[in-house]
Amino acid sequence: METKQLTPSIGAELTGVDAEDLRRPEVFEQFLGLVHRHELAVIRGLEITPAQQIELAAKVGRPVPFLMAKYRHPEHAEIMISSNAMKANRPVGVARVGNFWHQDSSYMKDPAPYTMLHGVQVPSTSGHTLYASAADVYDRLPQEWKDKIAGRTALHTVTKRQRISADHVGLSIAEFKELVNQEYPPVEHPLVRRDPYTGRSYLYGAPEYMHSVVGFDANENAEFFAVIDRLIQDPEHVYTHRWTTNDLVVWKTATTYHAATEVEPGVDRTVHRVSIEGGQWAA
């Protein structure tokens, strides 16, 4: 068993372990420690069943069933099937999950602190996932911006990203936004938070999930979003996870910006996703 850092900014990998090894508390603790210290940790080629994935998630915290029942794994409510594949003319899961830079569910008051993905059927040439550390983004923020955002909060919203579905047929765009607003009212979070485990300050908020910084005018806001967009996406600081079959990836939702990339046409990609509440690390 060995650990290696994936990039200087984010990510670590545990190698030489299988599902059986992970049952040993000291091995599992080692893996979880990597998640806590490096925001994100990977085990490649971990052959596990959906039930075993949930078992692993339950060692981290409390796996929670996905909100929308129709995208839950038919036998395991805790697993959400994230997939572009079709079976008998029906989607097997949710397509295009997270294909923009974000921190998971930051538009919610109390997002689950961990996300776990298992690569069930993954192409090697597309459908990679990009990751960046929110602590590293904060570190790289020019001092002038650190001063401007000190003590401020931001309004987070899902309205920029909510897609129109069958439930919304017949609504105008304004009516649709209003409905989403009622369902997910904007929530306010501090812009700078401290990771209780590493002690590092990190930036909380991605432009696609933020309405605005409280107290900023439209210009300051646009400028700030442009500055952080550049920092988040800076290729020098991004870890690209190129999936191989059965990869397990776990990250801390608050300190990990990430984006799923396009899948080439005609290619299926399926990952099993578990959202985990509670656990040792709380944002």
The yes or no reply on residue 272 touching ligand AKG (CB under 6 A) is no
Q: Which is nearer to Fe ion, 9 or 103 (CB)?
A: 103
What single letter denotes the amino acid at residue 139? Answer: D
User: Residue 173 is encoded by which pair of tokens?
Assistant: 């765009």
User: Residue 49 is encoded by which pair of tokens?
Assistant: 């069943």
**CB burial class (10 A; 0-12, 13-18, 19+) of residue 74?**
exposed
Stretches 8-16, 66-74, 97-105, 150-158: which one binds ligand AKG (CB under 6 A)?
Answer: 97-105
The yes or no reply on residue 97 touching ligand AKG (CB under 6 A) is yes
The site partner of 255 among Fe ion, ligand AKG, none (C-beta below 5 to 8 Å per kind) is none
The yes or no reply on residue 134 touching ligand AKG (CB under 6 A) is no
Stretches 23-31, 97-105, 126-134, 224-232: which one binds Fe ion (CB under 5 A)?
Answer: 97-105
Q: How far is the CB of 117 from ligand AKG (least distance, A)?
A: 6
Stretches 28-36, 96-104, 174-182, 212-220: which one binds ligand AKG (CB under 6 A)?
Answer: 96-104
Task: Report how far residue 2's alpha carbon sits from residue 75's, in angstroms, rounded to the nearest whole number.
Answer: 34
Q: Which is nearer to ligand AKG, 36 or 273 (CB)?
A: 273
Nearest to 205 by CA among 223, 181, 224: 224
The yes or no reply on residue 104 touching ligand AKG (CB under 6 A) is yes
| Secondary structure letter of residue 261 according to DSSP | P
- Distinct helix (H) and strand (E) counts, the chain: 7, 18
Are 256 and 113 a contacting pair, CB within 8 Å?
no
Category of 11 on φ-ψ map: left (φ > 0), alpha (ψ -120 to 50) or beta: left
Q: Which is nearer to Fe ion, 104 or 195 (CB)?
A: 104
> Which residues have C-beta within 8 Å of that of residue 152, sequence separation ≥ 6?
190, 191, 192, 213, 214, 215, 216
Site string for Fe ion, 128-167 (x = CB under 5 A): ----------------------------------------
Q: How far is the CB of 265 from ligand AKG (least distance, A)?
A: 17
- 89 C-beta neighbours (distance < 10 Å), count: 5
Q: Show the beta-strand stretches assigned E in 214-255.
A: 239-241, 248-252
The yes or no reply on residue 104 touching Fe ion (CB under 5 A) is yes
The yes or no reply on residue 39 touching Fe ion (CB under 5 A) is no
Instruction: Give residues in contact with Fe ion (CB under 5 A).
Output: 98, 104
Instruction: Give residues in contact with ligand AKG (CB under 6 A).
Output: 82, 97-98, 104, 115, 117, 129, 258, 260, 271, 273
